[in-house]
Amino acid sequence: MRWVHGVPAADVGPASRRPALWEQACAAEAWGGPAVMLLGDLHPGNILLGAGGSLAGVIDFGDVGAGDPAVDLATP
């Protein structure tokens, strides 16, 4: 798996381009690394920022698990 910088769907151009982008995303390589710790509940309410806006911490580990790191990015 490789890091892909994302943008909001509205910023990728016309809706007619989105199916091609979806196909590209689906063709990405599967995670081949070891299982990693997943928060399972990653959303703005569980992210703590420092005075300068930098990441200071992450809270609420009630749903912690292990697996593909992309899982936390898919959590609404």
12-71 confidence digits (pLDDT tens): 677 777 788 788 888 888 888 999 998 888 888 888 999 888 999 989 888 889 988 888
* Residue 37 to residue 68: CA distance in whole angstroms: 9
Q: Which residues of 35-65 are buried (b: 16+ CB within 10 A; e: fewer)?
A: eeebbbbbeeebeeeeeeeeeeeeeeeeeee
Residue 67 tokens read as 């697996």
Stated pTM of the model: 0.49
